[in-house]
Structure 1
Amino acid sequence: MTESAGSKPSSRDRILVAAATMVSENPAARLSVRAVAARAGVSTGSLRHHFPTQRALQDTVLAGIYDVVFPGDPIHDTDTPARDRLVGCLRQIIAPIGTGQQARDALGTTYQTLIATEPSEDTRQAYFAIERQMQHRVEHWLSVLADEGALPDGDNAQRARFLLTVINGLTLERALPGSESALVSETATLFTAVDCVLRD
């Protein structure tokens, strides 16, 4: 953010803080221009100046949240083999889900919000924004490996969708009853998925 000692935060920073707060209060909330502007104490014109579209606002807010939730991106640690780095990155996606009751609570919320009943348009748009950000993040990791020559030429969008499908399955498994060796099995699954992508 651009705030310096003794100065007021910029209107852009106030918008981002307001939007991130709204998402933290309700992850399914749609970030409407009017609601975010009111929360930030700025005009809708000011918000549109910084974020011409609602999607630009959502993507910027989610990227900032992911940077806070997933600090220290391990994909750039070239002292570690590419395979291990990619598995470490994918673990960052799964880690916040937790295990046991925490994972069951998270899955229950997802089920109630997106599956049990037809989601509202606001909920759908919030979900799509999160999905886009996750896809973008995994594609970024893959492009880093491709630039290093650790990944053959290919469709990184398709590879990212495959890896995120594996992550979705592992997230579900975390919420289901299982043995203590579940994390060992999860690690083996992640390495198998990454090996499939790296050998593509």
Structure 2
Amino acid sequence: MAMFGEDPGARLSVRAVAARAGVSTGSLRYHFPTQRVLQDAVLAGVYDVLTPGDRIHDRATPARERLIDCLRQVLSLAGVGDQARAAWAEIFKTYIEPGHTDENRAAYLAVQGEAQRRVEYWLTVLKNEGAIADGDNRRRARFLVTVLNGLSIERALPAEESILTTETETLHAAVDYVLSTRL
């Protein structure tokens, strides 16, 4: 996690992590057989540190509000204004500007995959409670992650209206759609 914190775009190879941790590559591969498994574990840990206390399990709050709160947690990581612009500039510099390479594609897909898995988890909790009809939570999560990506870009751009107002309207519309349809 320290390596990822130092350089979020870094490729976390099993060999580099093993060297940094002072363990053998074989020992690390026992626990993380592939680079993807290693990256997924690191990203899951980072996400848990950055967004502690998911409200998704708080049944005293309506499912709609819990899901919106969880999605807002993700958006809060994007920042607003200068912080959001700096974050998107870094994303552009890391994943878009250098062109598509296997390395930056894998790094981006690991980050995006973790966001997708987190949203799928929230949807599964709500589905198990009966708050969401049967359907494909993977597709629902992909839709919500796409909405989050768009909203995080809006946070970086100049706006005429209050970002909070338009963001709230968009989140409500997206969550209402997900909760009311069989995707």
TM-score normalised according to structure 1 size: 0.88
In the alignment, structure 1 residue 99 sits paired with structure 2 residue 95? no
Q: Deviations along 1:104-136, whole A, 9 cap, x unmatched?
A: 111111112222230432222111111111111
In structure 1, give the amino acid aligned to 2:66.
Answer: R
Where in structure 1 are there 5+ consecutive unaligned residues?
1-19
* Alignment correspondent of 1:81: 62
In the alignment, structure 1 residue 34 sits paired with structure 2 residue 15? yes
In the alignment, structure 1 residue 67 sits paired with structure 2 residue 56? no
* Alignment correspondent of 1:24: 5
In the alignment, structure 1 residue 183 sits paired with structure 2 residue 148? no
Distance across 2 between alignment mates of 1:110 and 1:57: 21
* Alignment correspondent of 1:142: 123
* Alignment correspondent of 2:31: 50
Distance across 2 between alignment mates of 1:34 and 1:89: 35
Q: What SS is found at the alignment partner of 2:77? A: helix
Q: What SS is found at the alignment partner of 1:150? A: coil
Distance across 2 between alignment mates of 1:133 and 1:100: 25
Report which stretch shifted further, 24-33 or 144-153.
24-33
Counting only pairs closer than 5 Å after superposition, residues 159-174 of structure 1 correspond to structure 2 as: 159-174=140-155
Picking from 146, 149, 173, the partner of 1:192 is 173
Distance across 1 between alignment mates of 2:16 and 2:149: 31
Decide which structure has the larger Cα Rg and report it: 1
RMSD of aligned Cα (Å):
1.1
Distance across 2 between alignment mates of 1:25 and 1:180: 35
Distance across 2 between alignment mates of 1:22 and 1:119: 22
Report which stretch shifted further, 157-166 or 117-126.
117-126
Where in structure 2 are there 5+ consecutive unaligned residues?
none
TM-score normalised according to structure 2 size: 0.95
Report which stretch shifted further, 41-50 or 176-185.
176-185
Q: Deviations along 1:47-96, whole A, 9 cap, x unmatched?
A: 01111121111111111111100100110010000000000000011101
Distance across 2 between alignment mates of 1:168 and 1:63: 19
In structure 2, give the amino acid aligned to 1:183.
Answer: L
In the alignment, structure 1 residue 114 sits paired with structure 2 residue 95? yes
Cα drift, residue 30 of structure 1: 1.1
Q: What SS is found at the alignment partner of 1:97? A: coil
Distance across 2 between alignment mates of 1:144 and 1:136: 12
Q: What SS is found at the alignment partner of 2:56? A: helix
